[in-house]
Structures are given as structure tokens and as C-alpha cells.
């Protein structure tokens, strides 16, 4: 994320908390994240990881893509590759490109993702219960666990599922895995 986008995200996270009338302590308790981390995040002193944003999305009941769309300019109908927002979590080796970002009035979106070998990202619960996903692997291998059931995916494989509980994305290696994730709001 660029500095400007990160600053807008920090402001939006602060706004979401304040709209609910929550203190930093309230949010820390709900998200199971330290108060100091949340404070530094809202002041733009640190960049969020995928796991941290995942926890906040659960608390605020919105997919990560929707949260990021709230801080991005209104996307045009045609989204050129050069203008697609890219977000990297260097700590986990996760890169996310908003191929077809969320748009008001539309329920679906398309994300291209890359996980480096050994990457392991777990989400405790979905940001929106019943969120529909279609995950299509282009290159590499991915082990995706949804609701306690693990699926090993290879190039060309597609896994369709609804998120009701925890999920985990693991790249067993040896190469990066690249996949498309189509998300549809319930």
C-alpha cells in the first residue's frame, strides 16, 4: 500500500471505532489485539498485517476488500492493470491485487493473490458469515482449510465454499502460489 492509502486506512479504522462509540480498550477486547497496537495503527505509525486486518474486519463485519475499498477512490468500470490496487504483507509473504475491486451496488469482486513458499495465514472467523468464495489456482500449490476441512489445490483447481468459520491458507512450497479469489457477498 502506498503511504497515502495507508494514511486513509488509519483514519478509516479510527472512524469505524468512533462510529460505534468504542474506546481503544473496547476494540482491543473485541479484536483480541493490544490497545497499543491499535493506537499505533490508527495514528498511522505501523502498517497492518493481513492477520490484524482480518481480526478488525471480523469486528467491523466487512470483508477486507470492502474495508480497503472504503479508503480507495471510487473505481471505474474498466480497471486497468496499472491502476489495480496492490497490498503486500511482507511479514507473511502475501500479496493481494484488487483486479475488480468492490463497487457500490455490486456484490462480487475479483482478487489475485500470491503467497510465498512457507506462507501460513489463518483467519479465526469470516468478516461476513456466509461469504461466498471461489478460489482458482493458477500456479504453485495451496492447502486451504475451511471449517476444519483441508483441501490441497494444484494449478487449474477451483474450490467453492461459503465461510462460516475459521480458514487457513498455506503454501507448502517450493514455489509461490498464485490464485484468483472471487468473492460474493451473501
Output 14 or 64, whichever has higher pLDDT.
Answer: 14
Residue 134's pLDDT is 98
- The C-alpha atoms of residue 96 and residue 112 are separated, in whole angstroms, by 6
Tell me how far apart the terminal alpha carbons of the chain are, to the nearest angstrom.
28
Residues in the chain, how many?
A: 186
Residue 106's pLDDT is 75
User: Is residue 174 very low, low, confident or very high in pLDDT (cuts 50, 70, 90)?
Assistant: very high
Residue 158's pLDDT is 98
pTM of the complete model: 0.65
Residue 73's pLDDT is 61
Average per-residue pLDDT in the chain?
90
Residue 70's pLDDT is 78
pLDDT, average across residues 1-21: 86
Q: 43-66 pLDDT, tens per residue?
A: 989 988 888 998 999 999 888 878
Task: Dig out the grid coordinates for 33 from the structure.
Answer: 489485539
Q: 163-173 pLDDT, tens per residue?
A: 999 999 999 99
Max mean pLDDT among 34-43, 48-57, 66-75 falls in 34-43
Residue 182's pLDDT is 96
Report the Cα 55 to chain-centroid distance in Å: 10
Task: Dig out the grid coordinates for 162 from the structure.
Answer: 461459503
- The C-alpha atoms of residue 142 and residue 115 are separated, in whole angstroms, by 9
CB 5 within 8 A of CB 69: no
Cell 462510529, residue located: 19
- The C-alpha atoms of residue 65 and residue 39 are separated, in whole angstroms, by 22
User: Is residue 119 very low, low, confident or very high in pLDDT (cuts 50, 70, 90)?
Assistant: very high
pLDDT, average across residues 90-107: 84
Amino acid at each position: 500500500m502506498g503511504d497515502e492509502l495507508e494514511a486513509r486506512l488509519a483514519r478509516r479504522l479510527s472512524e469505524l471505532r468512533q462510529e460505534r462509540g468504542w474506546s481503544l480498550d473496547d476494540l482491543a477486547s473485541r479484536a483480541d489485539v493490544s490497545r497499543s497496537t491499535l493506537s499505533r495503527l490508527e495514528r498511522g505509525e505501523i502498517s497492518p498485517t493481513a492477520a490484524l486486518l482480518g481480526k478488525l474486519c471480523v469486528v467491523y463485519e466487512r470483508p477486507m476488500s470492502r474495508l480497503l475499498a472504503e479508503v480507495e477512490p471510487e473505481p471505474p468500470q474498466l480497471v486497468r492493470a496499472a491502476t489495480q490496487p496492490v497490498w503486500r504483507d511482507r511479514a507473511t509473504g502475501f500479496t493481494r491485487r484488487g483486479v475488480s475491486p468492490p463497487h457500490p451496488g455490486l456484490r462480487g469482486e475479483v482478487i489475485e493473490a500470491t503467497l510465498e513458499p512457507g506462507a501460513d495465514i489463518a483467519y479465526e472467523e469470516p468478516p461476513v458469515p456466509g461469504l461466498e468464495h471461489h478460489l482458482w489456482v493458477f500456479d504453485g500449490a495451496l492447502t486451504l482449510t475451511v471449517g476444519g476441512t483441508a483441501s490441497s489445490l494444484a494449478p487449474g483447481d477451483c474450490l467453492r465454499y461459503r465461510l462460516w468459520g475459521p480458514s487457513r491458507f498455506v503454501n507448502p512450497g517450493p514455489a509461490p502460489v498464485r490464485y484468483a479469489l472471487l468473492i460474493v457477498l451473501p
